[in-house]
Structure 1
Amino acid sequence: MKIPKRIQPLVDDGIVDSVLRQLMSGKEATVYVVQCGDEVRCAKVYKEASKRSFKNAVLYNEGRKVRNGRNARAMQKGSKFGREQQEEIWQNTEVDALYKFADAGIRVPTPFGCFGGVLIMELITDADGFAAPRLNDVTMPEEKALIDHAKVMDYVVRMLSVGVIHGDLSEFNVLVDDEGPVIIDLPQAVDAAGNNNAKKMLLRDVNNMTQYYSQFAPSLASTRYGDEIWAIFETGELTPKTVLTGKFIDSEISADVDTVLHEINAAREEELDRLERMSDGE
């Protein structure tokens, strides 16, 4: 196919050999399948801010640090240079999150670098070598839904353990290959400690995923993983090894955090006992 204008410099520099086809076009970018030497990868071409339909970007930018004072002032004034700096931060947020999440044991596409607003990364494929489908296009038996939902909740915990919330997690931002879910689309990732909307975003991420999987595993509909995860996070006790139960009891007295935490810990101990009994029975 004809080489897109934004990818042409990468071809000129030998980073990309050829563009095979367009994979998808979304609210923030267009993704192409490209040939890079002996490997087939994907190139995510970010749309300019004026053409990007991602809503409420200001909510996601809150808490993102700009070390250079000149850049920060330019961004506040909304100058051309400031807008360019804002775009660079938007794109680098995804690259940084991909590396951070991979190090934390979260399945994400491997990044190979961002060049002039074009992110080159691993192409996630199915068993036949075709591009892996989005979760939205997949159906599954109940047992598979429970397993994959547990994996996603583990990923959410691991993200929060390194201080990051996806911010736009849904069945449209998860790919599925033979090994299970793969998290994608991270330019809107937010700092859990520096963004006042962090809790709201985490609950929305978790509820989106739970609602989707619950159509295959109805028992998930009554769980409250988001509230449980955030409550543990607020106490400073959340780690990648945290065992979740999906249970959460609202406190009648909003300040009674100790009581709520006690209930969560009791439910977690009960779940650990159940897992141990299952292991002993194998």
Structure 2
Amino acid sequence: MSGKEASVYIVRCGETIRCAKVYKEATQRSFKKAVAYREGRKVRNSRRARAMEKGSGFGREQQEQAWQSAEVDALYKLAAAGVRVPVPYGCFDGVLLMELVTDEEGYVAPRLNDVEMSAEQAREDHLTMMGYVVKMLCEGIIHGDLSEFNVLVDENGPVIIDLPQAVDASANNNAEWMLARDVNNIREYYGQFAPELRDTEYAKEMWALYEKGELTPDTVLTGQFAEIETEADIATIMQEIDAARDEERFRKERQKEAKHGVDESKFNWSED
């Protein structure tokens, strides 16, 4: 299959059947706004970092390697954290070798968007997915492009795939809304089969706990979130604005005096 950032092949490794993901060059990828996803990613080698900033030929090459390694790093980290992702076996010359996720009969597992289910199954799988997103967030990772098209379903449930655009939750200014988009995409899909899921607010609940440092892999979520709404104290706000204006006016007067000097003869100086 060919996707927006890579083509995927079924390959034989000895007697084992695996999956090979061959990344496309930047000029051939249709993934939009990649810069927003790269924000906050750290490159240890300062020479590489400078080259990537300048956008030189070497820098673009390093940027491609960073794009590919982001998925490899995320797969290893998430697999260790208990998130169901394809088991990675390494990346070689732009080719990511990983587990082939199959169904009960050994065929390639279907994507979530091709699966019909009961309301009970939708609720169960949705809860599983929310648990995976929490574990990802606890590892500092946000998928960034999560939807029913980036989830496979095998006999044991959902498996999250496609992570080259994985976002650093603590360093990317777009992290909060990307998390919300991921979670809400999944909510809307499962909500087709269990409509009550569309009233949940898991993204807001997760992010609020994450910001306070209270989110753990074992956190039990409710799916409910109460927005804090308070009326603005207009009088206090206006007082602060007036105080700021007075301070600015005083600052300008002081600057003017310093620039033009002050006639000290106007003052009656005492020895004290």
Query: Structure 2-normalised TM-score?
Result: 0.84
- Alignment partner, residue 13 of structure 1: none
Q: Which residue of 1 aligns with 2:24?
A: 47
The two structures, once aligned, show a CA RMSD in angstroms of: 1.1
Match of 1:71 in 2: 48
1:254 CA drift (Å): 9.7
Q: Tell whether 2:154 aligns with 1:154.
A: no
| Partner residue in 1 for 2:197 | 220
Residue 38 of structure 2 is aligned to residue 61 of structure 1: yes
The one-letter code of the counterpart of 2:109 is A
**Structure 1 residues without counterparts, runs of 5 or longer:** 1-23, 256-282
Post-superposition CA distance 1:103-140 (Å, at most 9, x none) = 11000000011000000000000000000000011110
Kindly provide the CA deviation profile for residues 135-168 of structure 1, in whole angstroms up to 9, marking residues without a partner as x: 0111100000000000000000000011111111
Alpha-carbon offset, residue 253 of structure 1: 3.5
Match of 1:170 among 144, 147, 154: 147
Counterpart position of 1:85: 62
Higher relative contact order (CA 8 A, sep 6+): 2
Larger radius of gyration: 2
Aligned to 1:103: 80
Tell me, in whole angstroms, the C-alpha distance in 2 between the residues paired with 1:69 and 1:30: 31
1:37 to 2, 11, 14: 14
Which residue is 1:14 aligned to? none
Between the two proteins, the alignment pairs up a number of residues equal to: 232
In structure 1, give the amino acid aligned to 2:145.
Answer: D
Mapping of 1:119-138 within 5 angstroms?
119-138=96-115
Once the two structures are aligned, what percentage of the paired residues are identical?
69
Distance (Å, rounded) in 2 between the aligned partners of 1:222 and 1:254: 25
Give the corresponding residue for 1:186: 163
SS of match in other structure, 1:240: coil
> Structure 1 runs of 4+ off > 3 angstroms?
none
Which amino acid in 2 is paired with 1:109? P
Give the drift of 1:245.
0.6
Letter of the 1:193 counterpart: S
For residue 195 of structure 1, the aligned residue among 169, 172, 178 is: 172
* Cα distance between partner residues in 1 of 2:26 and 2:52: 13
Give CA deviations for 1:182-230 in whole Å, capped at 9, x if unaligned.
0000000011000000001000000000000000001101111100110
Q: Structure 2: give runs of 5+ residues left out of the alignment.
A: 233-272
What's the TM-score, normalizing by structure 1? 0.81
Asked whether 1:112 is paired with 2:89, we answer: yes
